Amino acid sequence: MDFIQTDKAPGAVGPYSQAVRVAGFVYTAGQVGINPEVGTLVSGGVEEEARQALKNLEAVLDASGSGLSSVVKTTVFVTDIADFPRVNAIYAEAFGDHRPARSLVQAAALPLGATVEIEAVGRVDS
């Protein structure tokens, strides 16, 4: 088991790893729309937060030897289910024709006041 850490994504805000690689897969922690260079949520609303969360997710996946094209499952959390269409559009831009399994749920609140959080399970090619 390998614990993944990259400076290209926000550091963990608690006692956990950005990702764990084990048995040919990587399991990421949820990523929110924090700009890792300044450590704060990006401005511009749910769409900009979703874009940044996906960039952060991609950085963690890359650091683990995986990538967006190797993702097999994602879970997306939003604080307002009405944001689903906008988040879905940004998600589709990031994944292109790749269509991993996905769940999307509304959460009462997310860390640091975020409006969207995304986690993934990806394949790691050895």
pLDDT, one tens digit per residue, over 12-39 is 878 999 999 999 999 999 999 999 999 9
CB atoms within 10 A of CB 39: 11
pLDDT attached to residue 126: 59
Q: Output the CA–CA distances (angstroms, integers) from residue 48 to 27, 31, 73, 92, 119, in the order listed.
A: 24, 13, 22, 14, 17
Q: CB-based contacts of 44: which residues, under 8 Å, 6+ apart?
A: none
Nearest to 115 by CA among 74, 71, 84: 84
pTM: 0.96
pLDDT attached to residue 125: 80
Nearest to 111 by CA among 18, 13, 16: 13
Domains and CATH numbers, the chain: 2-123 (3.30.1330.40)
Low-confidence ranges of the chain (pLDDT < 50): none
